[in-house]
Structure 1
Amino acid sequence: MRGLLLRLSALDADAESAVRVIAYFDALVAARADAAALVRATAALAECTAGLATMSTGRVRYDHDGTPAPPSPDGAGAVEPERISGWMSLGDDGRVWLERPGPARALDEIVLERMAIAARIISARTRPSLHIADPALVELVLSDRESAEDRARALRLLGLLPDVAVRAVAISAPVGTDVGVQAVALVARGQLGPRTVRVAVLGRTAAVLLQDRAGGASPARDLHRALAERAGNPVGEPAQGRPGGVRSERGTGRWEGVDQPRVGVGGPVEALLARVSWQQARLALRFTAPGSADNAVVDYAELGSVALLADLPVDRLRADPDVWTLDDLAGRAGGTNDIFVLEAFCRAGSLRQAAAGLHLHHSSVAARIAHLEDLLGWRLNEPEGRFRARLALLARRLASSPSAPSPSS
């Protein structure tokens, strides 16, 4: 601030305008403007194109007349360095800039500084309030044996409001990894917005409680994107050579297909009934599978009547001949890739769509499907055959899920 005051004193005639610039951005912050509104307002004030780029918002550009700036000639939305007349870093989270034809104006530096300050405040508002919670308190909240008064007290001690809906998320991690670390890393990367987030480890599963006073949408899509990005395959970016869209990058700290955590998302419920959402999240977790972010994140709300399969005894699922056939297939050389292809084909319903999702040529997928038909013993180009394969895949997930009961239970 001292440096800002020194610059103001040096501006002389423009000092009053500079104070108005500061008041202008303070008003935007007070009005809780979002990133798009901030960039649009800055462009109007500076009378030139303005831009902002962060991990959470992506690239936002507006022209001085309040219309979104057109993309660059290469279609990627990038901005050529020579078009930027001034910019300011937001640290690791990105930068803000002005695109003024000709030389910068006297107040551009202050405009950029105040825009950067406002952008940081907006970014802080959209980050989740994430804390490691006391497992005993979380278990009390999720219990069906404790009184409503005790559950309400535990919610308050966790920083959650008993009269605001909560949503539970169940996260599991491979043996040999710290599920708590995995869960915190995934939730932090998920950019879950202005939610209150509490994470606790219950056995081999991390319980995440989310509370959003605005009643936000399911976090499944955000967690799916975060998982895909952490696996080295951001959504919309092809991953070459690996079915399931997962790159192998050992030593980079990124998750790989079989090493990634799995996520089950429950629905929103009254805070005092958080156990209901937790039961839904754990059930959804049973439907997850390794291989890609598409399989590793399951939202209970998306299951619909498929959730009824979870009521079947695990012993009966494990004894099903079709599940045996898939287990035998997965145990062969290249069997894991065959399962990925089968999953993608059943989900897409056509060779070309499955090939697009797998980033393979459709003729390669056609050859693999023909090979799979020989191994399975039924046709996959017919609706009944795809339904049978899809049902067997889901049954196999439920039978082999880490959260499934043991045969002796």
Structure 2
Amino acid sequence: MQNLVGRLTALDPDASETLKVVSYFDTLIAGGAGLDGLLRGAAALSGVVAGVERRGRIVRHSPQGLRVTTEQAPHSLKRQTRNGSVWLERSGPLHANDEMILERLALAVDLTEARRDPEGALETALDSATPIDERAKALARLRIQPGTRIRLIATPTDTPAMNAPSTAVPTRYGILRATLDLTGALTIPEPAGIGPWCRADQASESWDGAIVAHRLTEPRTPVVDATDIGALLILAKSYDPRHPHPDVLTLSRLDPRSADIARVLVESDSVRSAAATLGMHHSTMQAKHESLTRELGYDPRTITGHARYIAAALLLRLTSTP
């Protein structure tokens, strides 16, 4: 575990300590670390004993990676998990990253529990790579028929839980909480992405939509329904943000002022009305329109150019760091 900390520091010596903690636990989760591995990691990062209580059973590990059976020290910091709690046994003031270490440990424990317990049925039902008969069995454990109408809701892991089945799920945009909605009457915390309604045995389709919708949230629109994205959802779900399209790269290189002008040009009825919206002279806006057309490689005010701009702007939001 100490070696992993060293490797993270060597890979990115300028990264903040918080980022290193996040990367550390993401690496453990991706590698399928068990409960003992997660505890050893938390202890190594914090330099103190880390413990977990699950259904009445307590396990503790020292920073040296050994199980601890001595008398338990007072908890300086504690977090609840789905089936118990986790803590750090630090005497004296908390260190800067103790809160983050414990938060990531609690999340990792919940994720590991969900994968290995019957309660992990929801994660199985969301996995399109899982054979359909296994997904059907998972739905049965949730007491849901394959043809039941459902939708998935994606929220950050630290938002309040809804009164419905949920689990933490790794996605290409980080770990999100998936919540199964059967009624459409849940009180949804913000920010949230809502997937389309579908059959329960097609839950992965709704989850994919919820992930995209969550990625498109912003302060002005903290809850996004994938249904409102329309046919663009097909494009968004198939897009790989690791390999941005040239139109996306070109749009990302615009300075903020040019990007704002391009957006207003596309949204306005005419170049003249765009100039009025931005408080620019018509001739200045006309010149900027011509300059943007050259820079983008297409005229964003033509039918085809308008479609290209809208698609690129959507995919840019899926590409950019939140």
Question: Normalization by structure 2: what TM-score?
Answer: 0.45
Quick one: higher RCO (CA 8 Å, sep 6+), 1 or 2?
Answer: 1
Question: Normalization by structure 1: what TM-score?
Answer: 0.37
Larger radius of gyration: 1
